[in-house]
Every structure is written in structure tokens, then in C-alpha cells.
Amino acid sequence: MANVTVYCEKCGGVYRVSPEMIADEVCFTCREKTLKLVPEKYCGCVTLKKEMEDEFYEKLVKSSPTFDQSCWDRRMENRKRSDEERYKRMSAEKQQANLPRCPTCSSTNLRKVSTTSKVVNTALFGILGTKRHKTFHCNNCGYEW
Ligand SMILES: [Zn+2]
Ligand SMILES: [Zn+2]
């Protein structure tokens, strides 16, 4: 069966659960069985309809007798933290993407070929060597370029 959208009356958290789980599922933030079905008109294709979000929180969450401001604040705090973590992870991935990669195995486990070995290379191959010297050594497959 397709998942349904539920919300927590105490903190306003919105979740996707399978219909038979609604009665047993606890709110991720409050750790309580406070979940209720989100009325059809607020449901978007995944969670809430973007344009209905404000109305949803005002009418169904904040005006609910079980609404708990401290739970709401805690949920916001959690969300901020997970946003920050996601941002950190994304920038770490971006940094990874900028790293030079091995053209054969695409490993980022590379070693810059040291100046000493370039000197040796030049000494061995003369002028040809200076043209041919490599910048990177792949620690994974051993390829040099
Ligand atoms: Zn909650
Ligand atoms: Zn490699």
C-alpha cells in the first residue's frame, strides 16, 4: 500500500508512513504516538503542498490543544542541525569532486610525484625525461601521469 502523510500534533513534524503503521508509529521528535493523518487538501505529492504549508501549521498544528511550543522548538532545532550537517556533507563532497583523480581507476588516493623523483627522471632521460615527467602517482593502481 502507498505511504500516507501524517503529522504530529505536538511539534508539527510531517512524516510518511505506511497506513497500517499510523497507530503504532511515534513522532520522531516527541517520541510519542501523536501522529494524525494530514487532510487530503494539504497533501502534496510527497509531503505538504508548498502553498498550503502556512495554513496547515496555523490551523491544524498551532491551534491544536495538544500543540506544544517546546516540542515545536525542539523540532526546529533538530531540523537546523540536520540542515547544517547536510550542508557540511555537501561541501565535503564538493571538495572531493575537485580533487584530482586517477584517469584509469578514478581513485583520489594519489601521491604527487616528488621533486626528487622528477630530478632522477630528468637525469635518466635527459631532455626527453623533462617532457615526459609525471605529476601524479596513483596509490590504488600505480598509474602515473
Ligand atoms: Zn512530535
Ligand atoms: Zn589508479
**116 vs 11, residue with greater confidence:** 11
| Predicted confidence band of residue 83 (pLDDT cuts 50, 70, 90) | very high
Q: Give 58 Cα–ligand 1 centroid separation in angstroms.
A: 16
Report the mean per-residue pLDDT for the chain. Answer: 87
Asked whether residue 132 carries a pLDDT value surpassing 70, the answer given is: no
Q: Which ligand is nearest to the CA of 29?
A: 1
Distance 2 CA to ligand 1 centre (A): 22
131 has a pLDDT exceeding 50: no
The grid cell for 103 is 584517469
Measure Cα distances from 135 to 33, 49, 60, 142 in Å. Answer: 60, 53, 62, 13
pLDDT at 45 (0 to 100): 82
Q: How confident is the model at residue 125 (pLDDT cuts 50, 70, 90)?
A: low
